[in-house]
Amino acid sequence: MIPAAFDYHKASSVAEAVGLLEEHGMDAKILAGGHSLIPAMKLRLNQPGILIDISGISELSGIKDDGRSLVIGANTTHGAIAKSAEVASSAPMLAATAGVIGDVQIRNKGTIGGSIAHADPAADWPAALIACNASIEVMGGSGSRTVAATDFFVGIYETALEDGEVIVAIHVPKVPGTAGSAYEKFFQPASRFAIVGCAAVLEMKDNFCTSARVAFTGVADTAFLDEKVSAALENQTLDDATIKAASEMAASDADILGDHFASEEYRQHLAKVFAERAIRAAIANA
């Protein structure tokens, strides 16, 4: 449980962190809250030669409203998001999601940027960000670019981040006043990670759904937008028959994971159950 030897550098700016990544290449790792990286280092599953600490970079922290979207700095903690009045008003599902991550210690120290960079297939943020149609702003040696959340998570612990890039912020479109959203998960009791998690954002006109985005985490090797479920809800009156029919399609195209927590068959069942729960909760929240 003791990490291998490493050098440590505390970056004072994003530009400095990017420069250090370019200088040290694959031997360097970014340290933010540390709740993903440090345990892996203790088990020597990850052995970086240099840690670049970005936790003190003030420009990476905080939540801003740019008029159309919320801009959440990569270093913003889960706890700060859970307690934010701006998030609760403009993207309430994200506040709710933040509140069910891990335990109090993890929420107070872990960061949204660190979590999505780690891309654990059972993490909560990926499904919520995909359902919210969020985008990820990253900075590298060649400048900044933005990646849609649907394209950001590409595999188990794999993202669209390129070598030398740092996550700067997450841009989340404000949820319209007529919309409802919810995140529901079946969690592993010790870690609180999602064995299956489902996020739903539904734009409504009375009980008629004009737009739907339903996403899953914990089901496959990466979070994904379930296009079949989403399409089955759009342009429909959301009565019991429609909700149940859409939920039955959950994860039908996914390559479902099986492990010691849940078999493929059980995860498939849970996906249907939690799709229905998330959809009904989103309707209730509209």
pLDDT digits (tens, 9 = 90+) for 137-170: 999 999 999 999 999 999 999 999 999 999 999 9
- Does residue 74 contact residue 171 with C-beta atoms inside 8 Å? no
- Predicted local confidence at residue 60, as pLDDT: 96
**Helices 240-248, 264-285: inter-axial angle, 10-degree rounding:** 150
Q: What is the model's pLDDT at position 124?
A: 98
| Span(s) in the chain for CATH 3.30.43.10 | 7-53
Least confident of 44-58, 254-268, 272-286: 44-58
SS3 category, 215: strand
Pair type for strands 166-173 and 158-159: unpaired
pLDDT per position as a tens digit, 48-96: 889 999 999 999 999 999 989 999 999 999 999 999 999 999 999 999 9
The CATH-assigned architecture of domain 179-285 is: 2-Layer Sandwich (3.30)
CATH architecture, range 7-53 = 2-Layer Sandwich (3.30)
Rounded to whole angstroms, the Cα distance separating 13 from 139 reads 12
What are the tens digits of pLDDT across the range 263-272? 999 999 999 9
Residue 180 main-chain phi, psi, to 5 deg: -130, 150
CATH placement of domain 60-173: 3.30.465.10
Q: What is the pLDDT of residues 114-131, one digit of tens each?
A: 999 999 999 999 999 999
At a CB cut-off of 8 Å and minimum separation 6, what does 284 contact?
Answer: 180, 182
Report the percentage of the chain scoring pLDDT > 70: 100
The DSSP call for residue 4 is P
CATH 3.30.465.10 positions along the chain are 60-173
Run of H or E residues at 159 = strand 158-159
Residue 177 pLDDT grade (very low, low, confident, very high; cuts 50, 70, 90): confident
Give ranges for CATH 3.30.390.50 in the chain: 179-285
Using DSSP's 3-state secondary structure scheme, residue 182 falls into strand
